[in-house]
A and B are shown apart, each in its own frame.
Chain A
Amino acid sequence: MRFNYLIILFFIILLSISCTENDNNSSSDNYNRSSLLSNVVDNIIIPAHQNFDNELDLFESAINSFDQERTLSNLEMMQVQFIESYKAWQHIEMFNIGYAEQIFYASKMNIYPANITRISENINAENVDLDGNSNQFSAQGFPAIDYLLFGIAENNTQILDVYTSDNNSTFTYLNLLIGKMVENTDLVINYWETNRKNFINSTGNTSSSSLNMLANDFVYYYEKGLRANKIGIPAGVWSGELPQNVEAYYKSDISKMLAIEALQASADFFNGIHFGDSQTNGEGLYDYLAYLDDTNYSDSSMFVGLQDDIVDSFDNSRVKLNQLNDNFALQIETDNMKMLEAYDAIQQGVVRLKTNMLSILGISVDYYDADGD
């Protein structure tokens, strides 16, 4: 009988231990996860967001200047600054975490193709709710502005006409859009700056801990944002060819530049390279995998070097993307095979990131819940 009580006691102790697995663990461990997280947050995420914020401010100024004087050269200034902002955006789209995730920031900034019908409706409407309605994602953000600055008429002279001869409703909408983008960006930056400590300290291995969210979001972005949206969908991998679905369709000749920028942003994140300082290489997923590689695979029959294979995928993807026309829509219409080759190269990276990397890191793809044995 006494033994039975001992068993029950033992049971209770162990069960209580099983219930205390927690996530806020700031002590250092064998791989310094918090140093990876702090490099990513302080040297990549926050600087990239601040850079984007600056470009967006310059864009907003250009729009204000245009408002004051509706000239061709002010129109061109807006267009130039649009491109610079879009380029800077490529470095932050993958961080769909925290506040950004809550307000569907990425969806409000870059869902394409733009919905022209809805944009026209909005221009003529009294009040538009761009915050709470998911139907409005494709009528705001960069794709909508792409249309308003490049697609609304045949050439710059005619575009300028639209802004000088209508009842100013088109410009009002443009102004509304940039206002929203600035507003949302400010809130997202505020989130990162006030939450950075919590984020860096969340070094656990649950679906809500920082590294898991970063890794999952990165993989999701690489698979969907980069591979599918920029290349796969327009090139017709899942359906017929859809050249009108390329990014920046109306500007038309920056789709390649944006894709290469996005690829570079992905590679830099993976490597831990400081934003804006390509010479400084900090802790990134590359280093985490390299650490595991060193310690796991002393047995030579097992694989060594996933992190280098992933970098190879990035390099191959870059080569293939460089062979494309600046204008992806044109590339699709003239020689789609090259788009598909770029797709295949990027796909190879997806497989390595989504299956191998997540498997070795012990991070589960985050969107289901069930038992497993």
Chain B
Amino acid sequence: MTNKLFEYFKKESLPYPLALYRIGFGILIMFSLARFALNGWIESLYIEPDFHFSYYGFSWVKPLGVYTYLIFLICFTSALFVTLGYKYRYSIVILFLSFTYIELMDKTTYLNHYYLLSCISFLMIFLPCARYFSVDKQENVKIPQWTIDSLKLLIVIVYIYAGLAKINSDWLISAQPLKIWLRAKYTIPFIGETLLQKDFSYYLFSWGGMIYDCVIPFLLLYKRTRYFAFFMVIAFHIMTRVLFPPIGMFPYIMIFSCIIFFDNGLHKKILDFIRTIFRLKITNNEKFNSNPKSYMRNKLVIPILSVFFVFQIIFPLRNNFYHGELLWTEQGYRFSWRVMLIEKAGYTTFKIVDNKNKNFQVVDNMDFLTPFQIKQMSFQPDMILEYAHFLGDTFKKRGFNDVSVFADSYVTLNGRPSKRFIDHKVDLYKQKNDLKHKTWIIPIKDDIKSLL
């Protein structure tokens, strides 16, 4: 067995796939950042708000006022260098660090596809993407097959977990939340008032989405179904873009990433195409020497990536260590590829009590948070707790003695009537902000069955 493994790691391939991936990835990041900046989101999401929600262990990652633009600029520049293959090793590390820093600044803006971009850029640090078609002068050397396969593995993991997450009773038996979402899309041409208003189509889309996610990785991996699979990838993701514009760049990232499943020949053709339309004078004798030792030289790479992939497989399952219904409590919900899985909204206000003189005050959230932050905070317990601590601290500074903070919170999940979410008799200010199970979330009475 280990012999076979050893043989596999020695297998080699041509550098075309990683070169193309590097170029496309860099362009996608540059495009995302430009779109983000042009929408004014750097200002409205990272500079305007007075308060930012932080990730556990990363509260030191904060926006830097007007210098936040600098972080975006650094990220954009590193993406440009990655595209060009200029000082690739340094630029991909800076890209990973700056992009992840941006992500970590405020939990409010968590998106699965930002997490995906961080994961991919991390992985790419260890992959020889600049061996071909890059500014960095490189010798023509073959690359290990496993470096290409590692990108495929990451995409496979994302799809499979996204698919398995859809195996739950709300999604498959009640066709929620698609029933609510699709019905509201009545202005989409052709299908808006017809297909999207029919009951059977909600089940079609729900089951179809689940089956697509679970099956597509295998269709992509198997050569005979690859072209068909890619066609499905384009159709599926374009459809999500048409139906759900807020999904942003996710569809394009996935469509592009699926090219990696194709063989060297196709990649070479695409690179040649790029070469001709940009009239690039890069010449290469296309003769690649074998070098089986190249990636063995650095003994750390394979162990690091093994840990990385073990993490990718185990981390999405951590919700099983917590009590309660995941879709309700969201303990372990992020970073598990649960993409567009639930419709959830909340209404959460806070009462600050001065225990010494029995004064109390209900906070107008608009005094401290932006409407977007209020929306996100209202149904996510970790954000509710962090905000409660912030409020307690703020009122302490204002002269309140022996402060207690209570949350009056109602949440609706997938169309259910809103129910009280947080125990309003629990002083959240005294609750520790840690990774332990949050006992003060009122359990949901409905029984939702899920696979994961």
Contact = CB atoms under 8 A, between A and B. Distances in A.
A295 B197 CA distance: 10
Given A295-B199, A356-B412, A372-B111, A302 B174 contact: yes
A370 B36 CA distance: 9
Nearest to B108: A370
A370 B41 contact: yes
A204 B245 CA distance: 15
B70 interface: no
Contacts of A363: 184
Interface size class of A (residues with CB under 8 A): 35 or more
A83 B340 CA distance: 51
Q: For B189, B230, B418, which residue has the most chain A Cβ atoms within 10 angstroms?
A: B418
Given A354-B347, A373-B113, A373-B248, A22 B41 contact: no
Contacts of B227: 3
Nearest to B188: A21
B418 A21 contact: no
Contact of B242 (A14, A23, A350, A371): A14
A33 B193 CA distance: 12
A27 interface: yes
A191 interface: no
Contact of B109 (A22, A296, A370): A370
Q: B41, B185, B186 — which one has the most chain A CB atoms within 10 A of its CB?
A: B186
Contacts of A125: none
B371 interface: yes
A367 B371 contact: yes
Nearest to A358: B345
B372 interface: yes
The SS class assigned to the B binding surface is: mixed
Contacts of A4: 269
> Per DSSP, are chain A's interface residues mostly helix, strand or loop, or mixed?
loop
Nearest to B227: A3
B303 interface: no
A161 interface: no
Contacts of B180: 296, 359-360, 362
Interface in B266-292: 269
Nearest to A354: B347
A183 interface: no
Interface in B397-411: 410-411
Given A295-B199, A301-B446, A371 B371 contact: no
Interface string A176-215: 0000000000000000000000000001111000000000
A248 B65 CA distance: 44
Interface string A21-53: 111010101100100000000000000000000
Interface of A: 1, 3-4, 7, 10-11, 14-15, 17-18, 20-23, 25, 27, 29-30, 33, 203-206, 237-239, 292, 295-299, 301-303, 306, 309, 350-352, 354-356, 358-363, 365, 367-373
Interface of B: 39, 41, 44-45, 109, 111-113, 173-174, 176, 179-181, 183-189, 192-193, 197, 199, 227, 230-231, 234-235, 238-239, 241-242, 245-250, 269, 339-340, 343, 345-347, 361-364, 370-372, 375, 378, 410-412, 414-418, 446
